[in-house]
Structure 1
């Protein structure tokens, strides 16, 4: 039954809820209240704004210039009066008569007059109005002056008055010694001014129409340009979204090599780099996950609320088989790390609930917890030290047993030596010597077994390969144990020779035969068997002794382990361990089947030459792994 099915059957999934990864509360996404305005709107508005600003600035600059040009065009004829009058004076050697002045003004549609600057009196002429400031300026500077002003009162209200004043010597006109000026005046009626304003209004309408057309063209152009940029930027945004979603094959093809095109090339390079980086991250993640999944230790990570964020398979298995007390202990240990730092719980025994699920041979687990705090949680590594603690206890028992085994023959030898000093009877002395030889042999056997195990562990024993006929080897074993006087039966079928080390194979089978003789009644024979099967040659050693309890079968080949009832015979629990080690090095497999009070049968399966080694197991037979103890 799998671990998952056992969990469901026992109904303890609820108990694990605190350690199984669950959903995390995800905060509600904050609503973005910022206005969403597309780049088309922004750029179109920018084009219109710039065009409007440029048009308004141009209008403010050009309008006064146009207005002045129109006024100057309408008054250009009057401005030429001064030049013509000066030419007239130069033609008359600097002196003109009143008649000439009058003819000059009449011919040009001008009013004229001779005005005295001191009191503004008109001495001659037909002036209706004139500019006194132009007269004073001309007299004072002795240079002609032109002045324009709009009349604000009288019948000429709203008309433009243009005055030209030039200083003259009026002695010939009877005004000797007085400062006078010849004045020409022209009145522009409102119709002329209206013509200027009408022209300006027409020009303004044309300007406004041109401005509207410019705004329309600018708006359309801005929208087209903005749409082009927006499409390319949107393509970048869409590609970035796909890249964020994990599509690292996304690329951007830009037909225009401008800044956006360069950005697209940079994006493509970034996508390639991210693809490589994420591939490396995924590989590292898979490698880390494989390491965690393959660990023989349980690894548990929790957050700040002691909720599991990851569990490897070993952790799920251990948590599934452990009781509630262990779960609470683990919670407490993880919580303590935040105040005490790293913590080690070297030995916690759990009541294995696997016994209630058909696993009666499962001992209570002994677990070691090593916990350490993390930045936002804690990490625990749980190690199943049941086997280690059992081996440690077995070693301790072995040391006690070995000490006892060593002390017993040593004490016997010491006693025999003391008695030999005082004993004069040769028969008694001979019996003492025989007992001393037996105790010495016992010490030698123990020392040899320990030495062989240590040499096997160190790889210091060289195994030879040669053809061995197993039937001959069985008969040799029978002869070797003939000194015991016990009956040994052989039932052998003809099998091909095997390629193995004859000395080590003999040593291993001798251990099994010796073990069978120890645990069999004196009147019961030990049976040796040989038969081929599934490409293997199988040697069996059967006794009719006390047998091995079922709960001891999985550990019978472990070092230092002695099954229940083993006290009925001498031994240290190393013989079968040594036999199993030798079998592994020979490329074979050692198995046992046994029932209490009915005896045991040990089977050694060796591969036949030229054929693949196959599983030689039979139903109901326990087989030790070839990996050794």
Structure 2
């Protein structure tokens, strides 16, 4: 046999030995009772061989912990009993059944070893129970996460399927309004415009549901950029001006800040203005006015949306930003109860605050703050 071939053979033999060693370790790992038995036998042998002054009872802690963790508490209990008995046994002269001639220090050390064994047993039971609770909690988190993903996917599919016919209906109504199917009377035009606004409101509510569901399950992602707060408010007002006009409600924008530059997610803040204005329009009676005011402090802007509607009952105030919550005072238009909840999510994600001041029959004021510079968090 050539030297090279011989070297390769030797290497293969060593590799086989290593694999056998690890396979044996794996075998022991799959048979924890054997491990416990071997450990107890080794410690017992040391107890027999060594003089009484050598206290090896602390070594029983390892099989106790291993038995409780890998097998069950019953095994751990019996091993603890055996370990305590063996540790105390060597305090006695077995032939005369009397205390052996050992020093007080050795005796008390053995008593301490017994206490340590019992404490280890009870602590290992606690650790096992906590580990089981942690495993169950982790499993629940995984299930909830998966359910959240399924919920988001289902909501997205549902919103998509519901939006398409609404968009089609809006396009058809616009075609009627343009006169492509013949002349439209004033009464018909008004009815078609009402239908169009109702469909747009439905689309807005569907998008709010989808966005809220996504935020709850995946968190709120913000795309910060330098924006003009007055322009954001103006865009939101322009979007809803036709609805407000048909409701005979006037919207006034008052900017009292010296500068309107803010670092924020423009689309999300536009959504806040839209949701608050929609809420104000739905609450406001005809021939009333909604005021949107923008003020500032040293590091933040203060935005108020003030209406002259029916207000909010005092008992409803703590729940006004809750999910799916709708006040007990009747509205002219029902919603999904998510607009204010989503507004709070967005404002708090920006590092601001949002609150409400209201009294019955005296209108509502929504106040939110926005930091001028985005928070590092």
Task: Specify every segment of 5 or more residues in structure 2 that has no aligned partner in the other structure, as ranges.
Answer: 1-98, 131-161
Q: Give the match for residue 602 of structure 1.
A: 366
User: Is the CA contact 1:516–1:542 (under 8 Å) kept in the aligned structure 2?
Assistant: yes
**What is the aligned partner in structure 1 of residue 215 from structure 2?**
456
**Residue number among 478, 483, 492 corresponding to 2:256 in the alignment:** 492
**1:474-553 map, 5 Å:** 474-483=233-242, 484-485=244-245, 486-494=250-258, 497-533=261-297, 535-553=299-317
Query: Cα gap change, 1:477/1:280 in structure 2, threshold over 3 Å: closer, same or farther?
Result: farther
SS state at 1:426 partner: coil
Residues 38-84 of structure 1 show CA distances to partners (whole Å, capped at 9, x for unaligned) of: xxxxxxxxxxxxxxxxxxxxxxxxxxxxxxxxxxxxxxxxxxxxxxx
- Measure the CA separation in 2 of the matches of 1:609 and 1:461: 18
TM value normalised by structure 2 = 0.50
Pick 1 or 2: higher relative contact order, CA cutoff 8 A, min separation 6.
2
Q: CA–CA distance in 2 between the matches of 1:430 and 1:543?
A: 29
Deviations 1:502-530 (A, max 9, x none): 10111111110121122123322211222
Alignment of 1:127-526 (within 5 A): 259-262=100-103, 264-271=105-112, 274=115, 278=119, 426-428=183-185, 433-459=192-218, 462-483=221-242, 484-485=244-245, 486-494=250-258, 497-526=261-290
Give me the whole-angstrom Cα distance separating, in 2, the residues matched to 1:532 and 1:588. Answer: 13
The structure-2 alpha-carbon separation of the partners of 1:611 and 1:573, relative to structure 1 and needing over 3 Å to count, comes to: closer
Query: Contact 2:350–2:371 at 8 Å: present in 1 too?
Result: no
CA distance in 2, matches of 1:269, 1:438: 86
Structure number with the higher helix fraction is: 2
Structure 1 contact 491–527 (Cα < 8 Å) conserved: no
8 Å CA contact 1:527–1:542 kept in 2: the answer is yes
Q: 1:497 to 1:433 in 2, by over 3 A?
A: closer
- Give the distance between the partners of 1:517 and 1:438, measured in 2 at CA: 13
Q: Deviations over 1:269-321 (max 9, x none)?
A: 432562586499689989x99xxxxxxxxxxxxxxxxxxxxxxxxxxxxxxxx
Q: Cα distance, 1:589 vs. partner?
A: 2.1
Name the SS of the counterpart of 2:331 in structure 1. Answer: helix
Q: 1:587 aligns with which of 351, 356, 359?
A: 351
- Sort the Cα spacing of 1:559 and 1:452 in 2 relative to 1 into closer, same or farther, 3 A: same
Are 1:569 and 2:347 matched, yes or no? no
Q: Residues 535 and 611 of structure 1 are in contact (CA less than 8 Å); yes or no, is this contact kept in structure 2?
A: no
User: Residues 144-198 of structure 1, C-alpha deviation per residue, up to 9 Å, x if partnerless?
Assistant: xxxxxxxxxxxxxxxxxxxxxxxxxxxxxxxxxxxxxxxxxxxxxxxxxxxxxxx
List per-residue Cα deviations over 1:471-507 (Å, max 9, x = no partner). 3323333443333342313142235743321101111
User: Structure 1 or 2: larger strand share?
Assistant: 1
Instruction: Name the CA distance, whole Å, in 2 between partners of 1:269 and 1:432.
Output: 94
Gaps of at least 5 residues in structure 1 are: 1-257, 290-405, 614-629
- In the alignment, which residue of structure 2 is the partner of 1:226? none
Q: Is 1:489–1:525's contact at 8 Å kept on the other side of the alignment?
A: no
After TM superposition, give the deviation of residue 467 of structure 1 in Å.
2.2
Separation of aligned partners in 2, 1:553 and 1:440: 30
**Contact between 2:251 and 2:292, CA under 8 Å: does it hold in 1?**
no
Work out the CA distance in 2 between the residues paired with 1:437 and 1:469: 30
Q: Deviations over 1:72-127 (max 9, x none)?
A: xxxxxxxxxxxxxxxxxxxxxxxxxxxxxxxxxxxxxxxxxxxxxxxxxxxxxxxx
Q: State the match for 1:128 in structure 2.
A: none
In 2, Cα distance between the equivalents of 1:496 and 1:431?
Answer: 38
Conserved 8 A contact 1:547-1:595? yes
Aligned pair count? 229
Give the distance between the partners of 1:491 and 1:516, measured in 2 at CA: 19
Q: What do the CA deviations read for 1:518-546 (whole angstroms, capped 9, x no partner)?
A: 21233222112223347432221111211
| CA RMSD across the alignment | 4.0
Instruction: Tell which structure's C-alpha radius of gyration is larger.
Output: 1
